[in-house]
Structure 1
Amino acid sequence: MGTVALAVTNGMLHFELSMAYEVFGADLTGVADPWYRVVVCGPGAVRTGRFRLEPDHGLDHLSRADTVIVPGWADVDEDPPAELVDAVRAAHEAGARVASLCTGAFVLAAAGILDGKRATTHWAHTHALATRHPRVNVDPDVLYVDNGSVLTSAGKAAAMDLCLHLVRLDHGSSVANTVARRLVVPPHRDGGQAQFVTTPVPAPTNDPLTALFPWVLERLDQPLTVTDLARQAGMSSRNLGRHFRAVTGTSPLRWLLAQRIRRAQELLEDSDISVDAVAAATGMGTATTLRRHFHRTVGVPPDTYRRTFRSRPRAGSHHSGQHQENH
């Protein structure tokens, strides 16, 4: 998606705005060429917190962008400016992919583009969003929601997750991982919805499991069991389960399966090996087993996933008629 437009106005949250600019405005021409072209669009000079910002273009320029990012809106008790709402609606009608960060969802909801769709925002404001916009299916328990051409995220760090998710959709997992490494953030966090979203490797801590995670990831092609993991970690299987839930929020086997699926996604995106070979490389054993687990977790079969990512539009193509819905 060639042009990313950041929609700003007075009262925007500068944290989310800066985060989006860091992701899409970085010079990564050596990693992904062409990379995004970022423009800031607003009604004139605006204030975000203590900062004064001079946009590159007016809000009417949003309709020329491939992707429009709407950062968090500070005062959710007030209706967002009508000119911003109208410009975001016009951009969506023109074919732009529109994503909100944190309370930016209130702008999308006011524009009517979340009607009948699942969406999220910062947990502290999900009730207000649902009350004010009853036609929106507000999910308070997820990090972000991908409806294809309309995406929403929860607050702060979840906004980064959504930005990296967009990079991954456009450029693949290896480029998204490179962006994450440069920003020193985890490359994958589960958005709470299965389709085309990966599960994280927990960040290093002093927990006794810290050394176990890379050991497992180097052996995903092997038939590992909970006993194998417990032995490597130097603890009982019961202790291992308790530690896993404390660190990852899930059981050892569920985490292991998520890593196998994540690795399968990478191989399907970045290699031409057969589904049987992917199954062997990820410890699934057979293509039938891989297809069953992959379809249940991701929402589509491996072959469909591969075709989707191989045919995704690359940066530099204009948005008209070229957006793909991730269904």
Structure 2
Amino acid sequence: MPVIAVLVLDGVPGHQLTAPGLAFGTAARHHPPVAYDVRICTAPGFEATGGLASFRIETPWGLDGLASLDDSDTVLLPGHDHFRDDPSPEIVAALRAAAARGCRIGAIGTGTFTLAATGLLDGRRAATSRRNTAELARRHPLIHVDPEGSVVADEPFHSAAGVLGGVDLCLDLITLDHGMAVAIETERQLFLQLHDPSADLAGHSTANAACSAYTPPGSNIAPTTRWMEANLRHPLTLDDIAAHAGLGVRNLTRRFRAETGLTPLQYLLRTRIQRAQWLLERTEDPVERIATLTGLGTPANLRHHFQRLTGTTPTTYRTAFRTFVSNLTEPT
């Protein structure tokens, strides 16, 4: 299982400390083949998070948590107080050693300053929080700083402005690991807390996880699941799916269970609900049309399966999504 080691320095913003666990944890919860081990590793001198509501954390990992990483693992470096100061020799050595072993390294917000101080970003592209881009460029003229502060990848290094605690960077890494579909569904599940917006995602209803249909990269059944997605509005039977796959029904079901954890018809239903979610989010189509486009037939059938698999109604889902987008994009 790949490790995500979050190296936190004193004064780390609380939202940047927690965002990686939320993002990678959500990806794993809603896509069973996806797995990450997120570890919080404290650097020497760490005392508490920053901000007005600082808090202390206890973790079994310090810099030694980076020593066991290999080339399948990732180090994330969030922002922190005193980011303009040179990092300690121990931190520099740990980051350079992780890079030498082939680890992927990501920096969030002002964490890019610390990564830059190791010399690992010289000659590469990088990003930091927008209000600090000019300063980063001035302090480290060998780095090509993205003035927009967007997510920047210059393998094996990744950096971002730290919007929403670095969720954008985490989603970019999930896309690289498991594809765009998983990242999109992770983003949806991460933000749309429909039952109780204040609830911790870890305590969320497992019904939301049930609506995820995911085909692992390189799967032998991928051509068939893509065909299913392209033909959702048409009636599809188990025999139809087996015929497309060139398999008997029994072998088809065995393949689907092994690759997705679902039967073919369970996968089809979840794909239809995911498409309904997308249409509710991004179009003004009425429920009647969405029921037709997804192959669920009638509004009553759509409402029944949507409620069963997501725990809410299509109308409530659409309202919650629109409210979230409005709040997120409202000028400050």
Please give the TM-score of this superposition, normalised by the length of structure 2. Answer: 0.53
Pairs within 5 Å for 1:95-134: 95-134=102-141
Q: Distance in 2 between matches of 1:96 and 1:63?
A: 11
Amino acid at match of 1:48: T
Residue aligning to 2:14? 14
Shift of residue 26, structure 1, vs aligned partner: 4.0
The counterpart of 1:178, out of the listed 179, 185, 188, is 185
Distance, in Å, in 1 between the alignment partners of 2:171 and 2:27 is 15
Displacement, 1:158? Answer: 7.4
State the distance in 1 between where 2:131 and 2:218 align: 38
Deviation at 1:84, TM superposition (A): 2.2
Query: Residue 35 of structure 1: CA displacement?
Result: 0.6
Alpha-carbon contact 2:15-2:165 (below 8 Å) kept: no
CA contact (8 A) 1:2 1:37 kept: yes
1:60-80 deviation digits (Å, cap 9, x = unpaired): 321323100000123333223
Say which SS state the counterpart of residue 113 (structure 1) adopts.
coil
Structure-2 separation of matches of 1:13 and 1:114: 23
Name the CA shift for 1:32/1:112 in 2 (closer, same or farther; >3 Å).
farther
Q: Identity, % of aligned pairs?
A: 37
Aligned counterparts of 2:27 and 2:126: Cα–Cα separation in 1: 31
- Secondary structure (helix, strand or coil) at the match of 1:40 reads strand
Secondary structure in structure 1 of the residue aligned to 2:159: strand
Distance of aligned partners of 1:159 and 1:147 in 2 relative to their CA distance in 1, 3 Å threshold: same
Residue-pair matches, total: 200
Contact 2:16/2:165 (<8 A) preserved? no
Opposite residue 134 of structure 1, the aligned amino acid is P
Distance 2:67 2:174 in 1: 20
Change (3 A) 1:27 1:153: closer
After superposition, give the CA deviation of every residue in 1:84-129 in whole Å (9 maximum; x if it has no partner): 2321121111111000011110111011110100111011111111
**Residue in structure 2 matched with residue 211 of structure 1 by the alignment:** none
Q: CA RMSD in A?
A: 3.3
Cα separation, 2, equivalents of 1:55 and 1:124: 32
Instruction: Determine which of 87, 95, 105 is the counterpart of 2:94.
Output: 87
Aligned mates of 1:85, 1:25 — CA distance in 2: 28
TM-score by length of 1: 0.54
Higher helix fraction (1 or 2): 2
Name the residue aligned to 1:137: 144
Partner of 2:4: 4
The 1:129/1:97 distance shift into structure 2, 3 A limit, reads: same
Name which structure has the greater RCO, CA cutoff 8 Å, separation 6+.
1
Counterpart secondary structure, 1:99: strand
Q: Which residue is 1:149 aligned to?
A: 156
Query: CA separation of 1:271/1:26 partners in 2, compared to 1, >3 Å: closer, same or farther?
Result: closer
Q: Aligned equivalents of 2:118 and 2:145: distance in 1? A: 16
Q: CA deviation at 1:52?
A: 0.7
Q: Deviations over 1:13-60 (max 9, x none)?
A: 222111112112347255142410111112466311211122221213
Per the alignment, residue 204 of structure 1 pairs with: none
CA–CA distance in 2 between the matches of 1:108 and 1:38? 20
Please give the alpha-carbon distance, in whole angstroms, between the structure 1 residues aligned to 2:34 and 2:60: 21
Offset at 1:268? 11
Deviations 1:207-261 (A, max 9, x none): xxxxxxxxxxxxxxxxxxxxxxxxxxxxxxxxxxxxxxxxxxxxxxxxxxxxxxx
Gaps of 5+ in 2: 193-216, 232-332
Structure possessing the higher radius of gyration over alpha carbons: 2
CA distance in 1, matches of 2:100, 2:171: 24
Return 5+ residue gaps in structure 1 as ranges.
186-266, 282-327
Give, in angstroms, the shift of residue 272 of structure 1: 3.6
Instruction: Give 1:1-327 correspondences, 5 Å limit.
Output: 2-26=2-26, 28-29=28-29, 31-43=31-43, 46-49=47-50, 50-65=54-69, 66-157=73-164, 159-184=166-191, 271-272=222-223
The answer for the alignment partner of 1:228 in structure 2 is none
